[in-house]
Amino acid sequence: MSMNLVTLLYLVASICFIQALKGLSHPTTSRRGNFFGMLGMGIAILTTVGLIYKLGAELATAGIGYVIVGLLVGGSAGSIMAKRVEMTKMPELVAFMHSMIGLAAVFIAIAAVLEPQSMGIVLHISDPIPTGNRLELFLGAAIGAITFSGSVIAFGKLSGKYKFRLFQGAPVQFAGQHKLNLILGLATIALGLIFTFTGHYSAFTLMLALAFVMGVLIIIPIGGADMPVVVSMLNSYSGWAAAGIGFSLNNSMLIIAGSLVGSSGAILSYIMCKAMNRSFFNVILGGFGGAADAGPATGSSEQRPVKSGSADDATFLLSNADSVIIVPGYGLAVARAQHALKELTEKLVHNGVTVKYAIHPVAGRMPGHMNVLLAEAEVPYDQVFEMDDINAEFGQADVVLVLGANDVVNPSAKTDPKSPIAGMPILEAYKAKTIIVNKRSMASGYAGLDNELFYLDKTMMVFGDAKKVIEDMVKAVE
C-alpha cells in the first residue's frame, strides 16, 4: 500500500467524520450521520491495518497478528456492550468509552517514549526524541491520563451501583481542594516541560502519576446533577488526547479525528453549560457542581399538600384539550414508556388534539437522550421541538403533560434568585393552563430540590410507573 493511497484514504475517512458530525446535529439526519461515522472509521481501521501489514512485511515482524487480535477483542466487546446497554445507561457507556480512549493515548505515549524507533519518531533507539515530539507526547499522555481517571469516576457516579464514596452522586469536597488542584496542575506542567527539554524518563513517569490523580480530583467535587456536562467535557478531553498522540506519530488520521472530537466536545460542553447556567471555564477546571447539589430543598414535599388524580382524570383533561405539550424526562426513559406514549399521542391527534413534544437541552442526562428515545418509537420529528422553539407556546397550551422530568421544569429557576438553580433555562411548563405531572413519588431530581411546579393550584399529580400510567391513559381515550 503506497503512502499516497494511505493519505487519500485517510482524507476520505476524514470527510466521512465531518459528515458524521453534521448528520448527528439533528435527529432527522442522525442515522445518516451514524452511517458516515461507521464508514469513516471502517476506512481508517482497514487503511491502518494495511499500512501496518506493509511495514511488518518490510521489517519481518509479526505485529499484525496482535493488531488483528486486538481488533477482534475490542470489536466484539463493543458490539456486546452496545447491544445490551439500556437507553438510561447510555451516559455510563459513553463515559466508559472515553476512559478507554484516554488509556489508549497513555499506552501509546509510553510505548513511544520507551521505543521511539518503533513508532518512526527516530531512526535508532539511541537517538534522542526531538523536543517537539516530547512536548506532544507530554500533552497527549497528560490529557489521556486525566481523561481516563476522570471518566472512571464519572462512570461510577452515573452508575450508582458502587458504595465507594468517590463514586457517590453527591460531590466530594474538602478544605483546600482548589489549591491542591492548582498545585498538582502546576507540578504536572512543570514535570512535563522538564521531560520536554531534558528527556528524563523519571519526569515523564511522575507527570503521568500526577495526571491520573488530577483526573480524580477534578471530577469528585462535581455532583450528579452536573454529570451531563462532565461527560461532554471528557468527550472533548479524549479527542485532544488522541490529537496530541497523532502529532507525535505523524498520523494525520489521528490528528483530524481527535481534533474533530475535541472541538465538537468543547462546543457541546458550552451548550450544556449554557443550558444549566454553568461557567464553561469552571467546568474545564473541575471547580463547579457542588453548589447545585448541596443547596437545601426549597420546601418539604412530605408536609406540603398536592392535588393528585388518576390516569382516567388525566385522560379526561387531555381529551378535552385543543393543544397539549408533552415534556418527556428521565422517568419516561426508565419506564421504557416511549412506545405507549406514541400510541397515546396518535389517539389524541386522531381526536383533533394538537400535540407537541418539548425537549430541554439536557434532555434527561445527556443531550439528544430524549430525541433518541422518541426516535426509537418513531415519533414524527415535526412534533418534537427544542426549548427555545417552544417556550413561547406554553402560555397558550391547554394542558402540559410532564413525564418524569423534574429540574428542567422547576419554576424556582426563574422565580427564586436564591435557588441553587437560579438562572438555569427551563421549559416554562408552569405557564400552561393545566399541568399534569407523572412521577413515581415526590422525590427530588438530580439537583436535590423540591419542585414548586408540583404545588401549583393548576397542577395534578398522577403517581405511578410512567408506562403503566400511559397505558391506562391509552385505554381510557375514546
DSSP code per residue over 146-184: HHHHHHHHHHHHHH----SGGGSSS----TTHHHHHHHH
d(C-alpha 62, C-alpha 386), whole Å: 53
The amino acid that residue 162 corresponds to is: Y
Quickly tell me which residue has 456536562 as its cell: 229
The answer to whether the CB of 280 falls within 8 A of the CB of 273 is: yes
Average pLDDT (315-323) is: 94
Query: How much is the mean pLDDT over the chain?
Result: 85
pLDDT at 364 over 50: no
CB 49 within 8 A of CB 42: no
For 432-453, what is each residue's pLDDT tens digit?
999 999 998 887 766 667 899 9
What are the boundaries of each domain within the chain? 85-290, 311-476
407 is catalytic: yes
**CA 78, 81, 82, 88 torsion-angle sign:** negative
Task: Specify the DSSP element, H or E, that contains 112.
Answer: helix 90-114
Per the listing, cell 499522555 goes with 141
Asked if 277 and 423 count as a contact pair (C-beta separation under 8 A), the reply is: yes
pLDDT of residue 269: 81
Q: Is 164 exposed, middle or buried (0-12, 13-18, 19+ CB in 10 A)?
A: exposed
Burial 399-434 (b: 16+ CB within 10 A, else e): bbbbbbbbbbbbbbbbeeeebbbeebbbbbbbbbeb
Answer CATH for 311-476 from 2.60.40.10, 2.40.170.20, 1.25.40.10, 3.40.50.1220: 3.40.50.1220
* Rounded alpha-carbon distances, angstroms, from residue 263 to 17, 104, 258, 284, 362: 13, 20, 8, 13, 19
Per-residue pLDDT at 320: 93
Angle, helices 311-319 vs 466-476, to 10°: value is: 50
pLDDT exceeds 50 at position 296:
no
Proportion of the chain above pLDDT 70, given as a percent: 89
pLDDT band at 478 (very low <50, low <70, confident <90, very high): low
> Cα 475 to the chain's mean position, in Å?
36
Q: What is the mean pLDDT of residues 36-58?
A: 82
pTM: 0.78
Give pLDDT tens digits for 73-86. Answer: 988 998 898 888 87
- Grouping H, G, I as helix, E, B as strand and the rest as coil, residue 477 is coil
Q: pLDDT digits over 240-279, tens only?
A: 999 988 888 888 888 999 999 999 888 888 887 777 777 7
Q: Residue 343 above 90 pLDDT?
A: yes
Cβ pair 212, 234 in contact under 8 A? no
Instruction: Judge whether residue 108 has pLDDT over 60.
Output: yes
The catalytic residue among 226, 407, 450, 472 is: 407
Integer Cα distance of 438 and 314 in angstroms: 10
Q: How far apart are CA 465 and CA 1, in angstroms?
A: 58
Please write the tens of the pLDDT for every residue from 144-178. 999 999 999 888 887 767 777 777 766 788 888 88
Pair 438, 399: CB distance under 8 Å: no
Q: Are 427 and 409 in contact (CB under 8 A)?
A: yes
3-state helix, strand, coil in the chain (%, to 5): 65, 5, 25
| Lowest-confidence pick of 307-316, 337-346, 440-449 | 440-449
If one counts every other C-beta atom within 10 angstroms of the C-beta of residue 388, the result is 9
